A and B are shown apart, each in its own frame.
Chain A
Amino acid sequence: MSSAGAPAANGVAAARAAVGENDLAPAPGAAPLRRMVAAQAVFDARGLLRNGEQLLLTLIIPVLLLTGFSEASVLNLGNGSRVDFLTPGIIALAVMSTAFASQAIATGFERRYGVLKRLGATPLSRSGLVAARTVTMLVIEMLQLAVIAAVAFGIGWRPHGGWGAAATVPLLVLAGTAAFSGLALLMAGTLRAEATLAAANLVYLMLLGLGGVIFPLSKFPPGMRGLLGLLPISALSGGLRSVLQHGTGLPWRDLAILAVWAVGGVVLAARTFHWD
């Protein structure tokens, strides 16, 4: 019984001494929510950063596309600097990689390996887990943005929008993250892990091609253009582009489109998600 109250009372040294005897006598209790969420977020972030395939998806592909298409004139990207056009699209792609593809694949396999089921038996609540995952994603996205911005500046990016962009860009990124997360969890919570893997990659490639990431929407026929503009990736890349390339204020239309996707996706995912 010596160790039941000791760690809190006498600090780390006492805790070490007590558990050094490998005391397994019952002393149940949940940790504070903040500590649980932080521990899960650190664990997840470490796992993602160590995973080669995930890094390829979230960092290497966006950076390669940015540098490759900025240098080569294979595409007619309209007037203005190539890198100014491409960078907002690549930022949108990075958000989609993390919040959609990477999250869908990781969650699908976690379901399959019983990881989510096992976490369900711990004091970490489901909302705590969602909070931890959100923190992890935002940390990864900040890393992505830092790397992409550094590379883009290196090849002559001149962002517009002034200080206003410092508020609107995070807002768009948050809305995009929510929209893509809803879709990712909808997929991962209902399909088998292998089907999620295949479908997430397919959807990722389609949205990359059709969502104004590197090919401008204006290149598509007018009838299709309106429809494609409603995709979450088009709203995110378009919104980021109007702020960072054209220096506009908050692009309400794009934000509204992302919000609708976010609410729809999250509500549907919450209703259909299977934890095991």
Chain B
Amino acid sequence: MGARDWHPWLVSRLACVSVPAVEITGLAKRYGSVSAVDGLTLRAGSREVTALLGPNGAGKTTTVEICEGYRRPDAGTVRVLGLDPVRDARKLRPKVGVMLQSGGIPPAARPREYLHLMASFHARPADPAALLDRLGLTSTGRTPVRRLSGGQQQRLSLAAAMIGRPELLFLDEPTAGLDPQARHATWELIAELRAVGVSVVLTTHLMDEAERLADRVAIIDHGRLVAAGTPASLTGGQQQLRLRARPGLDLSGLLSVLPTGSRASESPAGNYVIDAGEEAGGTSELLAAIAGWCRAHQVRTDDLRLASRTLEDVFLELTGRELRR
């Protein structure tokens, strides 16, 4: 049995393993005098969820739309499933599902009809009725799109992106404007897609979304990559302890019982932050060491809290705290 006779599903799976979903090198795009993307280099792995995180105007949507073949880059190369999004558009379109940041659906269309239309563009589509049901849109199947809520339109747009059973999904802010229930349902669906082998590239400015869903996070600002990695590697995996006690504790004394590399600071008075060093063992040892020291020195602690650095901390550190346009 030659390679040619292999099941198409198997062939596409084998191809997935070697080729990254998206590979961007030195991408630049200007609109007049404004530089939207400025030397971006980025890689989204196959069968992974990659989150592009960044403030408004960071260049996320421009980057995604270049990957979708809507715009040509001014400089740099973009490969999507190993193909050029503009030159190989015809080959790529069936393999890629797209959810635009807004719009795209005729306002007078009915969700059921619209999804059937999108399904009929594909050779082996998913079942529109099952997908509507899955996204809680069955009861609105015959309601004109313009009368749906923003969240319902958003979910219909998501359903349309995945109806053709693509290898790769581009989702531009998939949960923007969704209520918590719909957001969680969407997260579950994206996790399920990943589990069955779909690569997902999504943009978001929701930290918990990126932290929860993404295998890898790329933080973009001013059209450049400022950090990339797994959510755990970005947040450093470091444990942090916060406690309140009487002001003026002997911090060097406290540090002497903690793992080497630990740091402690007091700011404002009576509020202490302890960063456990790289060699810190489990949380319980750390807590035991601090509690033991406090008891030995008759320090009464209030509000002892264990926390890890969040993606939001990292994000604000990297992109600054000032407001964006």
Give the interface of A toward B (CB within 8 A). Answer: 1, 3-5, 7-8, 16, 19-20, 22-31, 35-36, 39-40, 43, 46-47, 50-51, 110, 113-115, 117-118, 120-125, 276
Decide if B118 touches A122 in the complex (CB within 8 Å): yes
Decide if B106 touches A113 in the complex (CB within 8 Å): yes
Residues of A near B127 (CB, < 8 A) are 16, 19-20, 22
Q: Give CA–CA (A162, B122) in the complex, Å.
A: 46
With both beta carbons as reference points, the residue of chain B lying nearest to A40 in the complex is identified as B117
Give the interface of B toward A (CB within 8 A). Answer: 7-10, 12, 16, 68-70, 90, 93-96, 98, 100, 102-109, 113-114, 116-118, 120-127, 130-131, 134, 160, 162, 164-167, 192-193, 196-198
Which of B10, B105, B121 is within 8 Å of A39, CB to CB?
B121
Centre residue among B102, B103, B116, B165 by max chain A CB count within 10 A: B165
Decide if A27 touches B104 in the complex (CB within 8 Å): no
Decide if A26 touches B198 in the complex (CB within 8 Å): yes
Which of A30, A113, A117 is within 8 Å of B93, CB to CB?
A30
Q: Give CA–CA (A46, B114) in the complex, Å.
A: 11
Decide if A122 touches B9 in the complex (CB within 8 Å): no
Shortest distance from the beta carbon of B234 to any chain A beta carbon, whole Å: 28
Which of A25, A39, A43 is within 8 Å of B165, CB to CB?
A25
Decide if B165 touches A27 in the complex (CB within 8 Å): yes
Decide if B121 touches A26 in the complex (CB within 8 Å): no
Decide if A24 touches B121 in the complex (CB within 8 Å): no
Decide if A28 touches B98 in the complex (CB within 8 Å): no
Which of A30, A43, A124 is within 8 Å of B123, CB to CB?
A30
Given the interface pairs A22-B131, A26-B167, the reply to whether A47 lies near B108 with Cβ below 8 Å is: yes
Shortest distance from the beta carbon of A117 to any chain B beta carbon, whole Å: 7
User: 6 nearest interchain CB pairs?
Assistant: A29-B123, A114-B103, A118-B104, A19-B127, A39-B120, A4-B9
Decide if A31 touches B121 in the complex (CB within 8 Å): yes
Decide if B113 touches A23 in the complex (CB within 8 Å): no
With both beta carbons as reference points, the residue of chain B lying nearest to A121 in the complex is identified as B98
Which of B12, B104, B113 is within 8 Å of A46, CB to CB?
B113
Residues of B near A115 (CB, < 8 A) are 103-106
Shortest distance from the beta carbon of A40 to any chain B beta carbon, whole Å: 7
With both beta carbons as reference points, the residue of chain A lying nearest to B108 in the complex is identified as A47
Decide if A36 touches B167 in the complex (CB within 8 Å): no
Given the interface pairs A1-B9, A5-B8, A50-B108, the reply to whether A114 lies near B123 with Cβ below 8 Å is: no
Residues of A near B100 (CB, < 8 A) are 114, 117-118
Decide if A30 touches B121 in the complex (CB within 8 Å): yes
Decide if A47 touches B109 in the complex (CB within 8 Å): yes
Q: Give CA–CA (A4, B8) in the complex, Å.
A: 8
Q: Give CA–CA (A36, B121) in the complex, Å.
A: 5
Shortest distance from the beta carbon of A49 to any chain B beta carbon, whole Å: 11
Shortest distance from the beta carbon of B276 to any chain A beta carbon, whole Å: 42
Decide if A5 touches B7 in the complex (CB within 8 Å): yes
Residues of A near B198 (CB, < 8 A) are 24-26
Residues of A near B166 (CB, < 8 A) are 26, 28
Decide if B94 touches A113 in the complex (CB within 8 Å): no
Which of B7, B113, B130 is within 8 Å of A22, CB to CB?
B130
With both beta carbons as reference points, the residue of chain A lying nearest to B47 in the complex is identified as A26
Which of B10, B116, B118, B196 is within 8 Å of A24, CB to CB?
B196
Which of B95, B113, B122 is within 8 Å of A43, CB to CB?
B113
Residues of A near B68 (CB, < 8 A) are 121
Which of B96, B116, B124, B192 is within 8 Å of A4, CB to CB?
B124
With both beta carbons as reference points, the residue of chain A lying nearest to B163 in the complex is identified as A24
Shortest distance from the beta carbon of B191 to any chain A beta carbon, whole Å: 11
Decide if B121 touches A29 in the complex (CB within 8 Å): no
